[in-house]
Structure 1
Amino acid sequence: MSIGKNARNVTINIGTGNSAPVVKKEEKTRPFESYYTESSAREEERRQFTSPWGQDAARPPGGNFIDTRELHIQEYVFESGVRVDAARWVCMICFPGGSGTGFRVGPRHIMTASHVVKYILDTGYQQVGHNRDPFESLQNAGVYAIFNFTTDGPVSERQKFRFKAVVPFHDDATDCAVLELEDNSMGTEMPLSFTFFSLPRLNNRFTFIGHSLGSRMEFNHVDRIIDLNSADTQRDIIHVKQTSLQHSGKDYEMPPHNILTNPNRFLFHCKFTKGASGSPGVVILPDGRVVVVTMLLCGLPDWYYDPAVQDNVKNSWLKQYCVEQGVNLKSVYEKMFRNNPTLCQQIFFDHVDSIPNPNI
């Protein structure tokens, strides 16, 4: 999912079948750079906040799912310090052969990408819930969460939190899953939960907190979200899908859910790569509240992250043709409200820590 150095002096030729030289309009070499403007962002945010929410179409769900549209977010030293504190609520999910990222929600849960859970359950990407004992591997000795992993080095049992053999929520369209933690065997206190959620300001910065490449925790700032409604983006989608087939012989997307136009996801550019799936994207409000506005899911093209694809095919692919996806938490809320309303209440409504909650 990383965006590398720009390739130079590279031309992608699409044959016309004509022998005579053809004068063509200069092609744009960097797709997915049509971002929301101030006006288009306001319009899309208004639509998101006034479209149906679960059982009540007249208003957002309230509780700890808040409206940040009119709040001015500025980066001061105070916000940086709060973000470091909030990083203690983010974990690296370790399992044989890989790792992911998750973050604390609810009374004793973590939220992460559903495909991370599927890796744990079966390296063959089996569907959650379709085998005899689907969740048994969550309790393997090599599967655990480590919170506040900020320096490389050995990990003790005091730092490890194991999982219960249950997946109380998972959804493929949003690529979101929730796992339940067991108490630490050495008595280490469970970290606090993230308790405030929102839609992102579409033309403003947010910050991912995660474990790219299974390494110590990092921050990754994302400045803006790509405007899927723009004509430029629609042309970019057609172009990169064609180019992917020409370059690798493989589709850019993996239907039905890992597609560029999935309405449950946002598109943007970030530098995180494997291991960072499940990272929370956060903003810090002036009163100190930490608001989760998205969660990092995956990067496209899908084949670019497939270990079975030859390195020379990946290395000759223009990195600016990659793009990343994050979940729309409104979609997560709606699906969880239908499938597990108790868990939805615990995560999005119940206030379980001491962060102030003034009315907005």
Structure 2
Amino acid sequence: MPTSIGPTYPFSKGAIQREVMASEIKVEVSRSIGLIYIDGHPSGTGFRVGNDLIITCLHVIQGAFSARPHFIDSIRVYIQFERKQHLQNIDPRKIFKFEASVRFTHQEFDFAVLELSRHEIPDVHFPPPLTSFCQMQIPSEVHLIGHPGGVQMMEDSEVFPRVIEQNNDVDTYISELSNWSVQYFPDRLDHYAELRLPPRKILFHTTFDKGSSGSPGVIIKNHKPCVVLMVRGGAPGCFYEKKFPGHPVEDRKRVEYGYAMEDIYKEMVCSTNQNIRQLSSEIFREWF
């Protein structure tokens, strides 16, 4: 756990001490995270789970769907693991393709499960999966690891998610941003309204931006990394989509969000479809 910050004075470090174990655990997690490409262009982040599966946001692979439902044009899509440098040479042993059949999608949670294809190079194995998941505890420090900007892997720690509850400070904050949106943007729309729509959104501020969709958010529990959320996007959406380039949005008015893995787990495990329930048991191997 981080220690408390001392008094601020000249030459004060202005930083939080952290256990070395936390850094080691995040390095371990990074081996399971990859950058997804469509037609050679970065599209988003995904992470390894189960026997041969990748979790990501549905919108990350939306452009690769074929004419058949639940199938992607797998020739166009691949994932690159352990891209930790901006101008990193492509290691063919870190590139994996997908099967054409998409194992599971959920529109409301913007959630997709893809199946990896065996590597074309003999004796190259899948990266290790993330196997531990736990309930979203608010507030708690979450570590985001992914590919913001669609380039090398990055992390953002000191992320403290919150949720909107009736009359809490987050509710007030989002209401103020909604009023500002209606007055500020040319279309006079509330571009924060999506944050209140079901299913439940987990809100936070992060340095992550476009390309980080599908990134896992982990906490360290029992000396293990536990996935608690998946990054989805941010509001106001018009800013991230560059719809009004003449209307900048300062950092404090940007709100990123994701979905709690516990909510996705409950949706899958309560399904009337036995195949979906079996898939959930494969993905969510350990639940704390």
Structure 1 residue identity aligned to 2:75: N
Q: Once the two structures are aligned, what percentage of the paired residues are identical?
A: 29
SS of the counterpart of 1:192? coil
Question: Where does residue 203 of structure 2 map in the other structure?
Answer: 267
Question: Where does residue 332 of structure 1 map in the other structure?
Answer: 264
Question: Where does residue 3 of structure 2 map in the other structure?
Answer: none
Question: Where does residue 78 of structure 1 map in the other structure?
Answer: 21
Structure 2 residue identity aligned to 1:247: Y
Aligned length: 263
Whether the 8 Å CA contact 1:251–1:301 is kept in 2: the answer is no
Output the TM-score relative to the length of structure 2: 0.83
Which one of the candidate residues 98, 101, 111 is aligned to 2:55? 111
Whether the 8 Å CA contact 1:114–1:175 is kept in 2: the answer is yes
Whether the 8 Å CA contact 2:43–2:61 is kept in 1: the answer is no
- Cα distance, 1:200 vs. partner? 2.6
Which one of the candidate residues 27, 30, 33 is aligned to 1:90? 33
Question: Where does residue 306 of structure 1 map in the other structure?
Answer: 241
Q: Structure 2 stretches of 5 or more lacking a match? A: 1-16
Q: Structure 1 stretches of 5 or more lacking a match? A: 1-73, 122-130, 352-356
Q: Distance in 1 between matches of 2:83 and 2:68?
A: 31
Which one of the candidate residues 164, 168, 172 is aligned to 2:99? 164
Q: Structure 1 residues 265, 348: closer, same or farther in 2, change over 3 A?
A: same
Q: Distance in 1 between matches of 2:192 and 2:120?
A: 40
Q: Distance in 2 between matches of 1:105 and 1:262?
A: 26
Structure 1 residue identity aligned to 2:82: N
Q: Structure 1 residues 303, 250: closer, same or farther in 2, change over 3 A?
A: farther
- Cα distance, 1:324 vs. partner? 0.8
Q: Cα deviations across residues 212-249 of structure 1 (Å, max 9, x unaligned)?
A: 10111111114322241243322332222222122212
Question: Where does residue 66 of structure 1 map in the other structure?
Answer: none
Does residue 318 of the first structure (1) align with residue 255 of the second (2)?
no
Question: Where does residue 84 of structure 2 map in the other structure?
Answer: 150
CA root-mean-square deviation = 2.3
Whether the 8 Å CA contact 2:163–2:201 is kept in 1: the answer is no
Question: Where does residue 23 of structure 1 map in the other structure?
Answer: none
Does residue 201 of the first structure (1) align with residue 145 of the second (2)?
no
- Cα distance, 1:347 vs. partner? 0.9
Output the TM-score relative to the length of structure 1: 0.67
Question: Where does residue 213 of structure 2 map in the other structure?
Answer: 277
Whether the 8 Å CA contact 2:35–2:42 is kept in 1: the answer is no
Deviates more, 1:191-200 or 1:221-230: 221-230
Which structure has the greater CA radius of gyration? 1
Q: Distance in 2 between matches of 1:293 and 1:236?
A: 24
